Amino acid sequence: MPVYSMTGYAAVQSSTAQYAPETEPSHDATSRLGVEIRSVNSRFLDLAFRLPDELRQAEPGLRELLTGKLKRGKIEMRVSLESASTSSLRPPSPATLQRLGSLEDSIKSWLPQAAALSVADVLRIATNEDKKPHDHSEELIKLAKKALKDLMSAREREGARLAHMLLDRTAQLRALAELAVPMVPKLVEQQKTRFLERWKEAMTLGGNSTLPEIAQDRALTEATAFAIRIDVAEEITRLSSHLDEIDRLLSVGGELGKRLDFLIQELHREANTLGSKSASLELTHISVDMKVLIEQIREQVQNIE
């Protein structure tokens, strides 16, 4: 399965014909239906809908459609519905004008201060009266499916880019780990030599030109204890194991954001331990470089579904 980002955008539009009443078949209009979906990262699946009042009944179907494909992310779906006449403005019928005039007279007999109907008011009322109700639910679901498909494609493309970046960072972390491995034996040997030299100096100052065996054993014991304290082989092994698991998950794909987030925490813990055990400036630099790379990984993992 692909790796999906939680960031994406898609917008589609379509036109559907609406027909006027049968008494005036020569006049028709088209409704421009538009669907826009925005997606950003979120710990859970958070859906928000912005629908015209005449399409509110379609929200349950749209919600079911999105939850069937999306697992995480803050999703906002906006639907627009615009009507555009394909012919010139129709004049109101005489019957409509007569009815409006009668209604206006009746209202003014009760409310003398009521404002008179304007030409714009008459045209709006007459137009709304002539409109034939149209159910856009079927068209909306088809359009939403297309928008969702485009969104998934956008999230897949962004996910592929994120996966490529993460694999690059894990490769860099492996290279740093390989640099750290041979440093520890060298540090132990250097510290062992340093302990022995210090004991020799101490014995010389004490009046003995030869180093007693017990003093030498003590120096070796101290060197061994030091080696145990700075041994990072276990941390390197665990870090390599976590990197292998990250690479495996990226190759499998699917819903893996939360598992990656846990592995990043483990990587950070191992890098911290490596730094605390550091007995040389080189190891300290390696630990810092690891933390920088892990932080870069962590930031990008937040965008993976």
Closest CA to 293 of 237, 243, 238: 243
The model's pLDDT over 239-270, given as tens digits with 9 standing for 90+, comes to 999 999 999 999 998 888 999 999 999 999 98
Distance, C-alpha 48 to centroid of its chain: 16
pLDDT of 300 over the 60 cut: yes
Residues 6+ apart with CB under 8 A from 9: 36, 37, 38, 39, 151, 154
Q: HSE, CB side, 13 Å, CA atoms: give it for residue 117.
A: 20
Question: Which tops the pLDDT comparison, 48 or 193?
Answer: 48
pLDDT of 147 over the 60 cut: yes
Q: What angle do CA 258, 261, 265 make, to 5 degrees?
A: 145
The model's pLDDT over 28-38, given as tens digits with 9 standing for 90+, comes to 456 789 999 99
What is the identity of the amino acid at 304? I
39, 8 Cβ separation under 8 angstroms: yes
Confidence band of 23 (pLDDT split at 50, 70, 90): very low
DSSP conformation class of 16: E
